[in-house]
Amino acid sequence: MVTALAQRLESQRKEIDDTLATFALSPTQLQEVKAKMRVELERGLKKDSHPTASVKMLPTYVYRTPDGTERGKYLALDLGGTNFRVLVVKIRTGMRNSVRMYNKIYAIPLEIMQGTGEELFDLIVQCISDFLDYMGMKNTRLPLGFTFSFPCNQTGIDKGDLVSWTKGFKATDCEGYDVVDMLREAIKRRNEFDLDIVAIVNDTVGTMMTCAYEDPKCQIGLIAGTGSNVCYMEEMNNIEFVEGDEGQMCVNTEWGGFGENDNTEDIRTRYDREVDGGSLNPGKQRFEKMTSGMYLGEIVRQILIDLTKRGLLFRGRITERLKTKGIFETKFLSQIERYKKKELRSILQSLGLDSTCDDSIIVKEVCGAVSRRAAQLCGAGMAAVVDKIRENRGLDHLEITVGVDGTLYKLHPHFSTILKDTVRELAPNCKVDFILSEDGSGKGAALITAVIDKYLYAMRFSDETLRDIMARFRREMENGLGRDTNPTATVKMLPTFVRSIPDGSEKGDFIALDLGGSNFRILRVKVSHEKKQTVQMENQIYETPEDIIQGSGSRLFDHVAECLGDFMEKQKIKDKKLPMGFTFSFPCAHSKLDEAVLLTWTKRFKASGVEGMDVVKLLNKAIKKRGDYDADIMAVVNDTVGTMMTCGFDDQRCEVGIIIGTGTNACYMEELRHIDMVEGDEGRMCINTEWGAFGDDGTLEDIRTEFDREIDRGSLNPGKQLFEKMVSGMYMGELVRLILVKMAKEGLLFEGRITPELLTKGTFETKHVSAIEKSKEGLTKAKEILTRLGVEPSEDDCIAVQHVCTIVSFRSANLIAATLGAILTRVKDNKNSPRLRTTVGIDGSLYKMHPQYARRLHKTVRRLVPESDVRFLLSESGSGKGAAMVTAWASRLADQTRQIAETLAEFRLTKEQLLEVKKRMRTEIQNGLSKNTQSTATVKMLPTYVRSTPDGTG
């Protein structure tokens, strides 16, 4: 029965996988899509083939992108979906170019969308009238730009004949007619106001122009929302059906029609054909029906119905709601791929679908397959466009920017990443940046975002770059382990003399000290074995003042000894000499477990007379000076080692420890045979990498930014710990502050206002970065924090600041993932295993408190080290418990050594005893040789009758 059940489950799983495999596109298929799209782009531009081309390549009569000299007040209309938008746009030039926008959104009922053309344009004019009343502009004759997001044949900038409706519109008596004329006639019928209609543009063109206002490299516009389309700046001499050979013109590709000549049949599925057959325009816009938000939810619904009919979903029960066309909206794809299982099931329940946990997983896989294919197809099309532009210009390498709008691109958690990755793979000679264009109240923030990305492009890393950083760090690890290369290595790979993780036999009463920042912690850790192993901890935190951190070493250790005395007094253990572990979170050279020579201070510490000294001796000296208690310091460990040991107590697979907080560092279990600085080849030893100094030799200069260099110059240790300064909590808030100051100076934030608070070092803390990146309350927190800095931020300012915080923290997570990836691949190689299964113990406030950091880190590690199963285990009790574990291990080792010594003690002979043995032996030899005493002698001295040794003459 069990076997039959397993076979049935395996068979069901295969059916699901086979169904979704039809949506998986191989690299070869994507290259073919790109090639076919390129052919259709060319056909659409040529006079002879244009009439039959599926990609129409419509001229827009937009000859250039903005150059910064634009100014004035304009009315704008935007019709492209179920919502119609009316805007007033004010463009100012001067010391700071600015765009101010005011808008209202009006719904277009379905009966109007599919009614008559006259009804549709009368409603549009009614909405314009309401908006002009709202703005008090009824008597002002404004220039009007009409964003009309449907295929039009344009013969001029203000003339556009509708080719065909898309995206659910079917208004009669419109196709083949000039929509500008229809709008003018509707304005006349209402007879309340007059407007000067000067331009009709597609939404892709509007997106490109919006983004090009801030980024001159933006010469492509992409819509990835309800519909899917692209425009770009084409050379005039390639557009055969438009007069003129000089300069450029923006071409609206209308690539949604790609495939209408059956050249995508090999990748269409039966679900695509069902959706197409049930649409308002069967056989048309086939590419759009595979890639746009209007149809993706419906594709998913068709798959779910099919899987349910086959008994693979929802216990085979198809609900009436699932049968309803359009019930599965594309927004659900975004939500389902973003949320966890519990939230996912609630979404399905809201659709009347009673799902099991397995059902939820399958639905998520379906959504992922459909949306991934959509993003890849858009990426393949975009690769064809950028390669064409590159070849148009005769370039070996093209750098260009794409302005993007659309809810699918904005809201789906993976769409944009997959799209970009596909373009990068299919157009390797093109460096393509994507910047987001936002409408309405968010548009100003999006314009700023374009500039932010220009400033902070160097903080965004591709997986290729991250793998290169992995390789660099791996080389530094090798250098640190080698006897000859260690002196010049930046990653010191310090032996810790910790040779194993906890094995469950630890027990006893221990003191643990934890010094690594401004807070000094002391713990009492009791490990017992009554029924099962338990750990009880009591701790107290003592503040370490700044003047002690940067004073003399004797004051620092006197302070530590004083705090320890106070703790022992409160614990009433001053009369006991408990084993003690010392978590000392700074780079130290160990010669054994209880000796640690400080190499260099980090994290703002500068106490004099400590570097180059054994910190155990310094602490013992301070304790001895007090004279009111005694201590037995058995082990000194780094906080990473303490973290690994703490997590190793709960999970014996833990062999890596990481700190991501005020500072950052990592340790791991290395094979002893690879550690040249330590004798022995058998077993393993924990290595403290001290990776914060990675890059101190210039290895990371190509990825450091001007802001990183400014932080380094203002630090206590310029030129040192450069990696730590790019990723750790101590510096992240300051990094954001420096970026905001520069942007404000450029007039891109806070209307150019720079307050004394914003100029003050340390006012923007890393905890502020965490607060601002929270999904629901982040913008509110941003406003509170920025208001405290005196800058009176607008909503756009808050969005922009949130974007800066995201870029800076994301870079940190990516860089940590790269260095951790190098460690994991080394552990994997050491084990000579095809797949690594291990646990990473983690501690640190940045990892714990930041709302997105852990997820980003885990996700990037999985991409960089795909052949691994890595569990990330949070150290809830800090590194102090780990220090106690090391101390327990050291105590157990000391006890074993003592017992062995006691056992062997009776075999040890003094010099006097040996002389006495010699004397007795001499007496017994004499007795054995004498005839009188030979019979009673213990040493018999028997004759052999061999009278000589060989003399060499025989």
Question: Residues with Cβ < 8 Å from 943, sequence gap 6 or more?
Answer: none
Q: Quote the DSSP letter at residue 178.
A: B
- β-partners of residue 231 are 221, 252
Position 7, amino acid: Q
Say whether 161 is catalytic: no
DSSP per position, 196-255: EEEEEE-HHHHHHHHHHTT-TTEEEEEEESSSEEEEEEEEGGG-TTSS--SSEEEEE--G
H and E: helices and strands count for the chain: 32, 26
Please report, for residues 135, 635, 798, 846, the alpha-carbon distance to residue 772 in angstroms, rounded to integers and kept in the order given.
34, 41, 9, 14
* Other beta carbons less than 10 A from residue 138's beta carbon: 12
Backbone φ and ψ of 789, nearest 5°: -85, 5
In angstroms, the CA 256 to CA 230 distance is 9
Asked about 509 being catalytic, the answer comes back as: no
Q: Which residues pair with 537 in a beta bridge?
A: 525
Among residues 158, 439, 639, 797, which one is catalytic? 639
Exposed / middle / buried, residue 749 (Cβ in 10 Å: 0-12, 13-18, 19+): buried
DSSP assignment letter at 145: E
Residues 571 and 574: their CA atoms lie apart, in Å, by: 8
For CA atoms 724, 725, 727, 728, the dihedral sign is positive
Q: Looking at 754-794, list the stretches that DSSP marks H as alpha helix, in order from N- to C-terminal side.
A: 756-759, 766-772, 778-788
CB 429 within 8 A of CB 192: no
CA distance 395 to 392: 8
Choose the catalytic residue: 286, 521, 737, 811: 521
Annotation marks residue 639 as catalytic: yes
Give the C-alpha separation, 681 to 671, whole Å. Answer: 8
Q: Would strands 83-92 and 684-688 be described as parallel, antiparallel, or unpaired?
A: unpaired
DSSP string, 589-611: EEEETTEEEE----TT---BT-T
Q: Phi first, then psi: what are they for 451, rounded to 5°?
A: -75, -40
CA pair distance 530, 221, nearest whole angstrom: 70
Integer Cα distance of 148 and 696 in angstroms: 55
Give strand pairing partners of 581.
Answer: 512, 635
Strand ranges (E), 24-82: 58-59, 72-79
Marked catalytic residue, from 585, 875, 879, 891: 585
Which residues are the active-site residues? 521, 585, 639
